[in-house]
Amino acid sequence: MPHHDLLVVGELNVDLILNEIEGFPKIGTEILADQMNLVMGSSSAIMAANSASIGVKTSFCGLVGDDNFGKLILDELSKKQVSTKYIQTSPDHKTGITIVMNYEEDRANVTYCGAMEALNENHIPWNELGDFKHFHLSNFFIQKGIRNDITNIFKKAKTQGVTTSLDLQWDPENKWDFNYKECLPHVDVFMPNESELLALTKASSIEEGVKLISPYANTIVIKMGSKGSMAYQNGEKTTVKAFKNPEYVDAIGAGDSFNSGFIQKYIERKSIEKCLKHGNLMGALNTTAAGGTAAFTDRDNINGKVKSIFNSAL
């Protein structure tokens, strides 16, 4: 069956990116931006698109509104060879959007969640999940409907015989209300970055954070930016250094691309070290072009870039 390696369940939104803004916005005034882009956003969609680009047969399950932004997302995912069969269009919600105001050092974002908050357990194609090899869910905190059902979703997924992974992502409310003791036993690979792990566990070091969640977690994978990544599995720690990147542009979506690479090898049942290395490679590749998907064109092109920049292969 064509799209049955990976099912990604997650949020869908567009990013309206403003660049070269002349100053900071102030109430009661108007300022100009010299550049604008409207693109598919959302960490889950970037992960799905990049997985498909590197050869993983990928389907997406999500919710968009019946509007132009929803169409843009469906078109973009289809173009990237992601099956949109399990994306539903809601007549009652608008597609989510993030307005990104990009300044040199940093960004100011405003997100309207829209349909992404309405996605819940009932939208997941439970009867067909058994046809997939792997189930990935990302951006837990921002999806209110998913948040309420999270333990049940992973529990149910495991009964269908798939392997599972969860990328927590940041909590915009900074409350970190995730019952990891209940949920993580049903998650095969838990994939936070360093700051998310510390914020979730209130620990003061990665080691302490890992100690706190270890009794409940299976494999813990921690993303560490330009330091690379590490994993804790069966009481053993594996660390893999990041690739040196001479063509760095930005790190938007690097974590999602890392997930794509890691899961590709995880589905192939490769060793944890190989999974981490491939995650690092895809994360590093991501940083060679602007945004989350630009570096992931087609397989041949990606292979060429990976060889010339990182002396490596898909």
Ligand X SMILES: Nc1ncnc2c1ncn2[C@@H]1O[C@H](COP(=O)(O)OP(=O)(O)OP(=O)(O)O)[C@@H](O)[C@H]1O
Q: Confirm or reject binding of residue 96 to Mg ion (CB under 5 A).
A: no
- Which residue, 70 or 192, has its beta carbon nearer to ligand X? 192
Q: Confirm or reject binding of residue 192 to Mg ion (CB under 5 A).
A: no
Tokens for 49, please give them. Answer: 């698109």
Residue 65 identity: G
Question: For 94, which DSSP code?
Answer: P
Rounded least distance, CB 91 to Mg ion, Å: 32
Report what 228 binds from Mg ion, ligand X, none; CB cut-off 5-8 Å by kind.
ligand X
- Which residue, 143 or 193, has its beta carbon nearer to Mg ion? 193
> What are the residues whose beta carbons fall under 8 Å from the beta carbon of 111, sequence distance 6 or more?
13, 96, 97, 98, 99, 142, 172
- Which residue, 85 or 244, has its beta carbon nearer to ligand X? 244
Nearest-5° Cα angle at 176, 173 to 177: 105
Rounded least distance, CB 22 to Mg ion, Å: 31
Rounded least distance, CB 283 to ligand X, Å: 2
Which is nearest to 297 in space by CA: 307, 308, 286?
Answer: 286
Q: Confirm or reject binding of residue 255 to Mg ion (CB under 5 A).
A: yes
Report what 163 binds from ligand X, Mg ion, none; CB cut-off 5-8 Å by kind.
none
Contact characters 215-254, Mg ion, x per CB under 5 A: ----------------------------------------
Which is nearest to 137 in space by CA: 189, 98, 179?
Answer: 189
- C-alpha atoms less than 13 angstroms from C-alpha of 247 in its C-beta half-sphere: 13
Which element (helix H / strand E) includes 221? strand 219-223
Report what 251 binds from ligand X, Mg ion, none; CB cut-off 5-8 Å by kind.
ligand X
Report what 290 binds from Mg ion, ligand X, none; CB cut-off 5-8 Å by kind.
none
Strand partners, 38: 16
Rounded least distance, CB 254 to ligand X, Å: 4
Using DSSP bridges, classify how beta strands 163-167 and 189-190 pair: parallel, antiparallel or unpaired: parallel
Rounded least distance, CB 169 to Mg ion, Å: 5
Report what 283 binds from ligand X, Mg ion, none; CB cut-off 5-8 Å by kind.
ligand X
- Which residue, 224 or 294, has its beta carbon nearer to ligand X? 224
Rounded least distance, CB 244 to ligand X, Å: 7
Rounded least distance, CB 218 to Mg ion, Å: 19
- Which residue, 33 or 249, has its beta carbon nearer to ligand X? 249
3-state secondary structure of 164: strand
- Which residue, 66 or 250, has its beta carbon nearer to Mg ion? 250
Q: Confirm or reject binding of residue 65 to Mg ion (CB under 5 A).
A: no
Residue 81 identity: Q
> In the β-sheet with 219-223, what is the strand arrangement from edge to edge?
83-90, 58-65, 6-9, 134-138, 163-167, 189-190, 219-223, 229-233, 236-240
Give the residue carrying structure tokens 């660049």: 19
- Which residue, 141 or 258, has its beta carbon nearer to ligand X? 258
Using DSSP bridges, classify how beta strands 96-102 and 107-112 pair: parallel, antiparallel or unpaired: antiparallel
Catalog residues that contact ligand X under the rule CB under 6 A: 43, 193, 223-226, 228-229, 242-243, 245, 248, 251, 253-256, 258, 280, 283-284, 287
3-state secondary structure of 212: helix
For residue 303, count CB atoms less than 10 angstroms from its CB and return exposed for 0-12, middle for 13-18, buried for 19 or more.
Answer: middle
Q: How far apart are CA 138 and CA 259, in angstroms?
A: 10
Report what 253 binds from Mg ion, ligand X, none; CB cut-off 5-8 Å by kind.
ligand X
Instruction: Please give the residue ranges that form the binding site for Mg ion (CB under 5 A).
Output: 193, 255
